[in-house]
Every structure is written in C-alpha cells, then in structure tokens.
Chains A and B, each alone.
Chain A
Amino acid sequence: GAVVSQHPSRVICKSGTSVKIECRSLDFQATTMFWYRQFPKQSLMLMATSNEGSKATYEQGVEKDKFLINHASLTLSTLTVTSAHPEDSSFYICSAAQGVNTEAFFGQGTRLTVV
C-alpha cells in the first residue's frame, strides 16, 4: 500500500507551548487528509478533515483555534497544537487519501505528552 509518514513519532513539550505534527504522503498525492486523536485505551476519534487548498472541516467539539490544520500541498498536512495543556496529551494519527472514496492510508502516529 501507499506510504504515509508522520513526524515526529513522539514529542514532549511544556505546557503553553505549541507543537507541530507533520503528515506526508510519500508516493501519492493526497487530496484529503484526516486527523484523529486517540486517548489511552480508547478508539480513534476524528478531529478534522482537510482538503488541499481549502480550510479544514472540524468535528463537533474540536477547537479550530487550538488545533490548527494546514494542507497547503498535495503531499503535506500539518496539525499544530497551540498553547498545549496536559489534557492535550494523546496519540494523534493522520490518514491520507488520493481522492474521494479511495483507500485512506495511516501514518505511524505521534504520541504527544504535555508536561
């Protein structure tokens, strides 16, 4: 299958700082990328959907000003957690798809710890 690379795999940051997570499709152009959050021992919850060149669509309850998503190119989407707090500590995972109703491939995930 296609390769989606997510970086970093782990990050520890201080409360109040911002953290950027990158999601890259390495061998295909991703018109759509998804960002999920997974708390310990829970399922993956969709945070937002981003389409290249347009604003992301956030799921209910997800603060768009706190979780900034940029999908400026067909191979890169970034998620920036602004003014991070300990409760933002979680596993963040992205997925990328080439087109509508095509297979979506997952990145390796980023484990964020806010101290």
Chain B
Amino acid sequence: AQKVTQAQTEISVVEKEDVTLDCVYETRDTTYYLFWYKQPPSGELVFLIRRNSFDEQNEISGRYSWNFQKSTSSFNFTITASQVVDSAVYFCALKGVNAGNMLTFGGGTRLMVKP
C-alpha cells in the first residue's frame, strides 16, 4: 500500500518569507517516484518536479528547492522568498514501480502568501 502524508493543511506567510512544505510517504516498493504539483485556484495541476528513489540529491530550481531524505521517507519542498503568485495548493504524490502509472496524492497544503 502507498500513502502520502502532508501534515500541514494550511500555511500562511508574508511575502519574501521562506516556507517549507512537508511530505512524508510510505511504500513497500524499493523503486518509486515522488512528485510535487501546484494547483492554483484555476484548478489545473502544474507539474513541479519528479524524483526517483535512487536519486537522493537535493534539487534547486530558481526559488524552489527539494530535500529528499530516504532515511526519514520525506520529500520536503521549500520556496525561498515567497511571492503572492506562489499562493496555491501544493500536492506531494508517490508512484511505486509496481503501481503502473497510478499516483497516490497527499492531502495537499494550501499556501497563502500575503503581500
């Protein structure tokens, strides 16, 4: 069974603050993929990153960075110098190699960035 937990349901920050969104996962697969998606108010899912279980290197893309810790089954997402446009719901998702292409989503974290 696969499970993704995003313990923070809502986070509110002031613009320019850094914010970290937590994601903890469970899977029995030794090979798996982790994802982060952004869902703005319009509803579409915007793909942010995919990381496979064998690649524990942290990744940075502009103001976004991801910290993958296999030892703690976590894949946290940090936004540096947040902006109002970052306000959205962010989903962490997991796909085990034995799950075909089926994604298991976490409950999502609603991020509100205030000016």
Segment among B17-25, B67-75, B102-110 that sits at the interface with chain A: B102-110
Asked whether A43 and B107 contact (CB < 8 A) given A106-B44, A109-B44, the answer is: yes
17 more A-B residue pairs beyond the given contacts A34-B103, A46-B103, A109-B43, with a C-beta to C-beta distance below 8 A = A34-B101, A42-B108, A43-B106, A43-B107, A44-B45, A44-B105, A95-B101, A95-B103, A100-B101, A101-B97, A102-B101, A103-B50, A104-B101, A105-B47, A108-B44, A109-B44, A111-B43
State the CA gap A108–B106 with chains docked (Å): 19
Answer yes or no: B66 CB below 8 A from chain A CBs. Answer: no
Q: Are A49 and B100 in contact (CB under 8 A)?
A: yes
Asked whether A101 and B43 contact (CB < 8 A) given A42-B107, A43-B91, the answer is: no
Give the interface of A toward B (CB within 8 A): 1, 32, 34, 41-46, 49, 91, 93, 95, 97, 100-109, 111
Q: Are A97 and B44 in contact (CB under 8 A)?
A: no
Asked whether A43 and B105 contact (CB < 8 A) given A103-B50, A108-B44, A109-B44, the answer is: yes
The number of residue pairs between A and B whose CB atoms lie closer than 8 Å in the complex comes to: 52
Which of A41, A104, A111 touches B103 (beta carbons < 8 Å)? A104
Interface centre among B45, B47, B95, B105 (most CB of A within 10 A): B45
Q: Are A108 and B43 in contact (CB under 8 A)?
A: yes
Q: Are A101 and B45 in contact (CB under 8 A)?
A: no
Which of B44, B91, B100 touches A101 (beta carbons < 8 Å)? B100
Closest-by-CB residue of B relative to A104 is B101
Closest-by-CB residue of A relative to B43 is A109
1/0 contact string of B68-104 vs chain A (CB within 8 Å): 0000000000000000000000010001010011110
